[in-house]
Structure 1
Amino acid sequence: MTAELRHLRAFLAIADAGSVTSAAAMLRMSQPALSRTLRQLEDHMGARLVDRTTHRLELTTEGRHFRDKAAGAVAAVDEALDPARLRPWPLRLGHAWSAFGRHTTPLLRRWKETFPQTPLELLRVDERTAGLLSGKTDVALVRAPLLPREAEGLLGEWLCNEQRVAAVPADSELAAHTGPLNLAALVHHPIALNTVSGVTTLDLWPEELRPSPDTAVLVANTDDWLGAIAAGDAVGVSTTATAEMHPHPDVVYRPLAGAGDVPLMLVWREVPMGSGQPSHPAVPQLVRVALEVLAEDEGRTDAPRGTR
Structure 2
Amino acid sequence: MNSPHTSGRGVELRHLRAFLAVADEGNVTRAAARLGLSQPVVSRTLAALEDRLGVRLVNRSTHHLELTPEGTAFRDKAALAVAAFDEAVEPGRPSPRPLRLGHAWSALGPYTTPLLRTWQRRCPQTPLELRRIDDRTAGLTRGEVDAAVLRGPVETPGVVTEVLYTEGRVAAVAADGPLAAHTSLRLADLTGEAVVLNTVSGTTTLDLWPPDARPTAALTVANTDDWLTAIAAGRGVGVSGSSTAGTHPHAGVVYRPLEDAPPLPVLLARRDGPAHPALPELLGLIREIVTWDGA
TM-score by length of 1: 0.68
> Aligned match of 1:279 in 262, 275, 282?
275
Counterpart for residue 181 of structure 1: 185
State the shift of 1:88 in Å: 1.1
One-letter amino acid of the counterpart of residue 279, structure 2: V
The size of the alignment, in residue pairs, is 231
Which secondary structure does the structure 2 equivalent of 1:257 belong to? coil
Report Cα offsets for 1:183-239 as digits up to 9, x if no partner. Answer: 111111111100011110011111111124xx3111111111111111111110001
**Structure 1 position 145, deviation (Å):** 1.1
Q: Quote the residue 2:152 is aligned against.
A: 144
SS in 2 for 1:109: helix
Contact 1:161 1:264 in 2 (8 A): yes
Equivalent residues in 2 for 1:125-144 (5 A)?
Answer: 125-144=133-152
State the partner residue of 1:121. Answer: 129
User: Which residue number in structure 2 is paired with residue 33 of structure 1?
Assistant: none
How far apart, CA to CA, are the structure 2 residues paired with 1:68 and 1:239?
Answer: 32
Is 1:294 aligned to 2:272, yes or no?
no
Partner residue in 2 for 1:89: 97
167, 174, 182: which one pairs with 2:172? 167
Query: What secondary structure sits across from 1:229 in the alignment?
Result: helix
Q: CA deviation at 1:75?
A: 4.8
Give the aligned residue type for 2:152. A
Answer yes or no: is the 8 Å Cα contact 2:80–2:276 preserved in 1: no
Pick which of 247-256 and 115-124 moved more.
247-256
Match of 2:254, SS state, is: strand
Quote the offset at 1:177 in angstroms. 1.4
Question: For the Cα contact (< 8 Å) 1:181–1:255, is it kept in 2?
Answer: yes
- Answer yes or no: is 1:155 the counterpart of 2:155: no
> CA, structure 1 residues 280+122, in 2 after alignment: closer, same or farther (shift >3 Å)?
same
TM-score, structure 2 normalization: 0.71
2:73 aligned residue: 73
- How far does the alpha carbon of each residue in 1:10-62 deviate from its partner, in whole angstroms, 9 at most, with x for none? xxxxxxxxxxxxxxxxx9xxxxxxxxxxxx99xxxxxxxxxxxxxxxxxxxxx
Separation in 2 of the partners of 1:218 and 1:182?
22
**Where in structure 1 are there 5+ consecutive unaligned residues?**
6-26, 28-39, 42-66, 272-277, 300-308
CA distance in 1, matches of 2:2, 2:136: 32
Residue by residue over 1:154-188, the C-alpha shift from the partner in whole angstroms, topping out at 9 and shown as x without a partner, is 3232111110100000001100113x201111111
SS at match of 1:181: coil
**Aligned residue identity for 1:135:** G
Distance in 2 (CA, whole Å) between partners of 1:71 and 1:176 is 52
Structure 2 unaligned regions, length at least 5? 6-42, 44-53, 56-66, 87-94
Superposition deviation, residue 70 in structure 1:
3.3
From the superposition, tell whether residues 284 and 130 of structure 1 become closer, same or farther in structure 2 (CA, over 3 Å).
same
- When the two chains are superposed, the root-mean-square deviation of aligned CA atoms in Å is 2.9
Residue matched to 1:268: 270
Question: Who is 1:227 aligned against?
Answer: 229
Indicate how the Cα distance of structure 1 residues 258 and 234 shifts in structure 2: closer, same or farther if over 3 A, else same: same
